Amino acid sequence: MSTRDNRELTKSHRGRVVAAWQKKDIKGDGPAGVGETRHIDGQQLGRARTSNMMKLIILASAVFSAFSLRAGATTTAHQEQTFESACSSLNTAVISPDVKTLFSEILPAGTALVVPGLDASCANSTTITTDLCRLSLNVTTSASSDVLIEVWLPRNWTGRFLSTGNGGINGCLSYDDMAYATSLGFSTTGSNNGHSGQNGTRFLNNVEVVRDYSYRALTTSAAVGKEVTASFYQKSHTKSYYLGCSTGGRQGFKMAQDFPEIFDGIVAGAPAFNFQGLMSWSGTFHSIIKRAGPDGFPPASTWAAVDAELLAQCDHLDGAIDGILEDPSMCNFRPEALICQNGQANSTCITGKQAATIRQFLSPVYGVNGSFVYPRLEPVPGFLAFISSSYSAKQFLYTDHWFKYALYNDPNLNTTFLGPENWQYAFENDPTGARTWSGNLTQMAARGTKLLHYHGLQDTLISSASSNTYYNLASRTMSLSSSDLDDFYRYFRISGMGHCTGGLGASAIGNRGPNAASLDPAENVLTAMMQWVEEGVAPNAVIGSRFQNGTKALGVEYTRSHCKFPLRNVLKPGGNYTNQGDWQCVL
């Protein structure tokens, strides 16, 4: 079906679409056609692509062909079971030696789920809003690695399947995302990404654990989740989706680049792609602070003045004085304007050395022979406070653990002053393909998979400039214009959004349950993706909501329509920045 402009939809039509998505009898083109093999392979992800793409490294469907419910193998017997007894039967399902059932349980709507025994660095609670069956499994992925997987099966299943992603270098399930997806009727899966906790110590001398982190935990959990779903409901899913941000965004792009047959629609936010470059860049901030010394880093008393000067230089570029930069890539912040003059108070100015430090923070990183490593941190209010809290005391945890345990296999490696040779080593030693930086989405486009990419422009953890760089890489690699890319790949910059969520602007876009203001596809990236896949109606903009005092319970203060890249948002002359209709997208 050809893509149609979402502006053709009337509000009443969008309402009918939302209502239809709540029903169970959804029409579709069948399951996503995941490739099958009879075991979990340890095959490394090579650079070469075959005509039939990479063979998926997943569990065989044969593993779960015996996953029949205890009440009997026939459809009739299955239908006679109650939802509760069907869930209970999963405890005693016949499992392959590679798959161990840990437990299954019913979680009624309203349950305040608290998961015991998790690593202290992982979030362990969420609120369940729909009746569901929770299944926990441990899956062996190699002789030296395994993945903890959960599959959540809602009573109100719509026929759709969704996989969730992870964050950082963590081994933590995204329970909030799983609760959100099941509330919308998806059978949903998540995993611990092959290790437990917000650290990378299990990577040490174990490339198979790194492989799980890079991609295999997701391909495995998707395959397992689909097979469990088909066995539990006695029919296959209709459409398959992915939702993730940060590392979850990188995982989404990994699927788009190398495993596009797994999902029909991928929603990937603030992606940690160019991962080797990102880890290298993240490590530069601590090094800059250490080299600058106590007198070279702007003290906290000056941060408000720095933010004010940044806004004075750049806030007007989008036509609105609202404290939010609609396109920070246009901001050429000059910190030298704040250098102290005689008689000024220290809290209102900085030294030349401190201005030089700020310039280093906001500069791209280049490596051996001037090779590109990572783009600059975009200048946005609050960047100094973030850098101080995240990087000043010690090396950034993710950088420290990635270089120590995944790259050098040396727990004693001093990562304080990583440099070009270390960054080059990272790029050259990536056997599992964690970098995730191929601009070739040809196989995804041919398969018909859709990719919705978003990035918050107030993100100080992963520079939004990286997303701009990737979009242009894909355009060059595939020799496609933006209008050509629109058929399968659309990228939206969300002004005023921090890392994946929050921030000062209209950042509630339905990418995560707690911040969803609406299920209207115009205002919700997940339902927008469903509409794109199932109705052929692609989003041309994403409407975000800003809550009163940043609190959803207080209601919406204003909304703003965020443009599809490469367009940027500008306020019409004489417009009110809180009025959505007063903004327009321009090149």
Can you tell me the distance from the alpha carbon of 1 to that of 537, in angstroms, rounded to the nearest whole number? 9
Whether the Cβ atoms of residue 232 and residue 133 lie closer than 8 Å to each other? yes
- Contact between 461 and 534 (Cβ < 8 Å): no
Q: Checking phi first, is residue 338 left (phi over 0); if not, alpha (psi -120 to 50) or beta?
A: alpha
Amino acid at 500: C
Catalytic residue set: 246, 459, 499
3-class secondary-structure state, position 478:
helix
**CA 183 – CA 513 distance, rounded (Å):** 9
**Rounded percentage of the chain residues whose pLDDT exceeds 90:** 83
Cis peptide before 364 (omega within 30 of 0): no
- Domain final residue, candidates 232, 263, 298: 232
Q: How far is CA 65 from CA 62, 68, 96, 146, 224, in A?
A: 5, 7, 10, 21, 11
Please report, for residues 129, 130, 190, 268, the alpha-carbon distance to residue 133 in angstroms, rounded to integers and kept in the order given. 12, 10, 14, 27
Structure confidence at residue 19 (pLDDT):
39
Same-domain status, 62 and 129? yes
Q: How many CB atoms lie within 10 A of CB 573?
A: 7
Least confident among 2-6, 370-374, 440-444, 542-546 = 2-6
pLDDT in tens, 317-355: 999 999 999 999 999 999 999 999 988 888 999 999 999
CB 213 within 8 A of CB 434: yes
Q: How do residues 517-573 score in pLDDT, each as one tens digit?
A: 999 999 999 999 999 999 999 999 999 999 999 899 999 999 999 999 999 999 999
**Same domain (yes/no): 304, 203:** no
How many Å apart are CA 515 and CA 536, to the nearest integer? 26
Q: Tokens in use for 26?
A: 């959804």
Residue length of the chain: 587
Residue 98 lies in a domain: yes
Residue pair 481/475 in contact by the 8 Å Cβ criterion: yes
Angle at CA 454, nearest 5°, toward 441 and 120?
105
The pLDDT assigned to 371 comes to 98
Question: Residue 162's beta-bridge partner residues?
Answer: 188, 241
> Which residue type occupies 128?
I
Tell how many helices (H) and how many strands (E) occur in the chain.
18, 19
The yes-or-no verdict on residue 13 having pLDDT over 90 is no
Question: Is the distance from CB of 295 to CB of 353 less than 8 angstroms?
Answer: yes
Distance from C-alpha of 276 to C-alpha of 254, rounded to nearest angstrom: 14
pLDDT of residue 454: 99
CA–CA separation, 280 and 528 (whole Å): 34
SS (HEC) of 256-316: HHHCCCCCCEEEEECCCCCHHHHHHHHHHHHHHHHHHCCCCCCCHHHHHHHHHHHHHHHHH
Query: Same domain for 326 and 199?
Result: no
Residue 12's alpha-carbon distances to 20, 39, 385, 560, in angstroms, are 12, 48, 45, 21
The residue type of 373 is V
313 with 211, same domain: the answer is no
Helix 247-258 with 217-233: angle, nearest 10 deg: 80
pLDDT of residue 23: 37
**Residue 296 belongs to a domain:** yes
92 shares its domain with 224: yes
Same domain membership, residue 202 and residue 320: no
Sign of torsion, CA 51 221 406 385?
positive
At residue 251, the 3 state secondary structure works out as helix
Structural domain of 211? 35-232
586: phi then psi, degrees, rounded to nearest 5: -135, 160
Do residue 196 and residue 301 come from a single domain? no
Q: Of the residues 201, 232, 263, which one is the last residue of a structural domain? A: 232
- Is 126 inside any structural domain? yes
Do residues 70 and 216 share a domain? yes
What is the distance between the alpha carbons of residues 448 and 433, in angstroms, rounded to a whole number? 23
> Does residue 269 fall inside a structural domain?
no
Q: What is residue 189's three-state secondary structure?
A: strand
Tell me: the pLDDT tens digits for 387-439?
999 999 999 999 999 999 999 999 999 999 999 999 999 999 999 999 999 99
Report helix, strand or coil for 578: coil
Strand duo 372-374 + 365-366: pairing: antiparallel
C-alpha 193/C-alpha 146 separation (Å) is 9
pLDDT confidence of residue 93:
78
Distances (CA, A) of 525 to 266, 347, 359, 537, 556: 10, 42, 35, 13, 18
d(CA 495, CA 569): 9
* Residues 52 and 139 both lie in one domain: yes
Contact between residue 291 and residue 476 where contact means Cβ atoms under 8 Å apart? no
Domain check: are 172 and 303 in the same one? no
Question: Cβ distance 211 to 432 under 8 Å?
Answer: yes
In a domain, 438, yes or no: no
What secondary structure does DSSP assign to 147-175, as a single string? EEEEEEEETT--SEEEEE---TT-B---H
Quick one: 217 and 296 in the same domain? no
Whether 112 is covered by a domain: the verdict is: yes
Q: pLDDT (tens digit, 9 = 90+) per residue, 229-271?
A: 999 999 999 999 999 999 999 999 999 999 999 999 999 999 9
Of 66-80, 139-153, 391-405, 549-563, where does mean pLDDT reach its minimum? 66-80
Q: Where are the alpha helices (DSSP H) in 66-174?
A: 75-80, 83-89
pLDDT at 95: 65
Confidence at residue 81, expressed as pLDDT on a 0 to 100 scale: 67
The two beta strands, 365-366 and 239-245, are unpaired
Contacts of 508 (CB under 8 A, 6+ apart): 515, 516, 517, 544, 545, 546, 547, 552
227 versus 28: the higher-pLDDT residue is 227
Q: Total domain count for the chain?
A: 2
pLDDT for residue 77: 46
Average pLDDT of the residues in 349-376: 98
Compute the mean pLDDT over every residue in the chain, rounded to the nearest whole number.
89
3-state secondary structure of 83: helix
In a domain, 534, yes or no: no
> Are 204 and 346 contained in the same domain?
no
- Decide which of 408, 428, 448 is a domain's last residue: 428
CA 234 remoteness from chain centre: 31
Residue 25: pLDDT above 50? no
Q: Does a structural domain hold residue 49?
A: yes
Going by their DSSP bridges, the two strands 265-269 and 450-456 should be labelled as: parallel
